[in-house]
Amino acid sequence: MKFTINGHSTYCYTGGKAWDAAQPTAVFIHGVLNDHSVWILQARYLANHGWNVLAVDLPGHCKSAGKAPATVEAAAAFIAALLDAAGVEKAALVGHSWGSLIALEAAAALGLRVSGLVMVGTAYPMTVSPALLESSLHTPMIALKLINVLSRSTLSAPPSALGPGTWVYGASMALGRRVLASNPAVNVFHRGFKACNDYANGEAAMARITCPVLFVLGELDQMTQAKAAQLLINTAQASGKVH
């Protein structure tokens, strides 16, 4: 499904189902060097179980035109504009890594228009090491290899993982290369990492949201360690929002 947002074409994957205004809506927001395709399994499941799904390509990424957002706040404003363009009054927001910060900031801004917030692989502050920031700018292929090693529990998943012949590491490397090449004007790798590193409104945003929050964290996650989400968890728990 395509929308025009801020004068640019925006692509959303809908899980292969027709839009039904009577159903609830979930918006999926990808992380750095990702696109809508990372949400295909979740999107298809919800689309086949009574939900409308919008798994978006952020501006300047793959199938979506426009300027790639340089800040979490700019990306959150885009999500608000997406809801308006789609005619969605209320939606659940689901974000991974950078996308989780975007979902958080959007939920704070949209208030009662957000029915629930799911933060997958999140951290706050989402600090990126100076060396990795530098590498994402000047030697992006080296940085891409590093984050894909750190993002996997194993480079050789068991056969039952996603089916025979599935190589998650190789697929993620290919996706990263494709997303980076999709925007010749801007290094979206470095821009996304810098947006994560610079974001300083997480605690205040969490205190403002009005919806339930679900944290999905990996005990062995080396990119966004579970303990790095504790500040957000504490803030959500203090107001009875965490689930």
pTM of the model: 0.96
- Asked whether residue 224 is assigned to any structural domain, the reply reads yes
- Asked whether residue 170 is assigned to any structural domain, the reply reads no
- Asked whether residue 90 is assigned to any structural domain, the reply reads yes
- Asked whether residue 226 is assigned to any structural domain, the reply reads yes
Domain with 61 in it: what CATH number?
A: 3.40.50.1820
- Asked whether residue 158 is assigned to any structural domain, the reply reads no
Q: What is the DSSP letter of 216?
A: E
Q: How many domains does the chain have?
A: 1
Give bridge partners of residue 55 from the DSSP assignment. Answer: 13, 28
- Asked whether residue 192 is assigned to any structural domain, the reply reads no
DSSP string for residues in 133-180: HHHHHH-HHHHHHHHHHHT-S-SS--TTTTSTT--HHHHHHHHHHHHH
Give the DSSP H/E element, type plus range, for residue 43.
helix 40-47
Domain span including residue 107? 2-127+199-238
- Asked whether residue 231 is assigned to any structural domain, the reply reads yes
Residue 161's pLDDT is 59
Angle (nearest 5°) at CA 242 between 109 and 49: 85
Rounded to the nearest angstrom, the gap between the alpha carbon of residue 207 and the centroid of all alpha carbons in its chain is: 20
For residue 212, which amino acid is it? P
Per-residue pLDDT of the chain (243 residues; tens, 9 = 90+): 999 999 999 999 999 999 998 999 999 999 999 999 999 999 999 999 999 999 999 999 999 999 999 999 999 999 999 999 999 999 999 999 999 999 999 999 999 999 999 999 999 999 999 999 999 999 999 999 999 998 877 766 666 556 666 788 889 999 999 999 999 999 999 999 999 999 999 999 999 999 999 999 998 888 999 999 999 999 999 988 876
**Cα 234 from Cα 231, distance rounded (Å):** 5
**Cα 150 from Cα 223, distance rounded (Å):** 6
**Cα 197 from Cα 5, distance rounded (Å):** 26
